Homo-oligomer: A and B are copies of this chain.
């Protein structure tokens, strides 16, 4: 159906991207293997050359997307800068990734609230743990944040950014640099050590 850029770098990636696009469009339900194959310009059987089953396809797609998210979030990080600067950079990067990758945002949200996340908690992105979680841990250990559990911190931050990105996408408006800063300040003022 669609010949995509990714075809060059292999049908495996084409399948992943088609799955992402179809899940965004129709949800987990409306993404049958036959449609994924057609959308990726591939035969149904070919998918099974790269993935054991639909379940592992989605599992691997999750890690794939989260890897890209981790790289986008940590782009331009500079350990020389102040912690607050680094933190703000992370947040702003994350917001932009969501806005520029609506498919990924929608997929991640669906995945997180599906039984996949509960049934395969060990299946996650190593890159994300290394690049993103590490910075949070540092902030916690060095007392930049309130004295709360990090597993509470992370969803709070993510929730606000996802809300903002979803808002911009659904309302067809574009946040200014100042607007985005305001959002990040909501997070920062909430979680920083008062």
Contact = CB atoms under 8 A, between A and B. Distances in A.
Interface in A108-164: 109-110, 112-115, 146, 148-149, 151-152, 154-156, 158-160, 162-164
A194 B190 contact: no
Contacts of A194: 189
A151 B30 CA distance: 28
A29 interface: yes
A191 B149 CA distance: 21
Interface residues of A, number: 37
A77 interface: no
Contact of A167 (B113, B151, B158, B182): B151
30 contacts: A27-B114, A28-B29, A29-B29, A30-B115, A109-B113, A110-B113, A112-B113, A113-B113, A148-B186, A151-B167, A151-B171, A152-B164, A152-B167, A152-B183, A154-B163, A155-B159, A155-B163, A155-B166, A156-B160, A156-B163, A158-B159, A159-B160, A159-B162, A160-B190, A186-B190, A186-B191, A187-B190, A189-B190, A189-B194, A190-B191
Interface of A: 26-30, 106, 109-110, 112-115, 146, 148-149, 151-152, 154-156, 158-160, 162-164, 166-167, 171, 182-183, 186-187, 189-191, 194
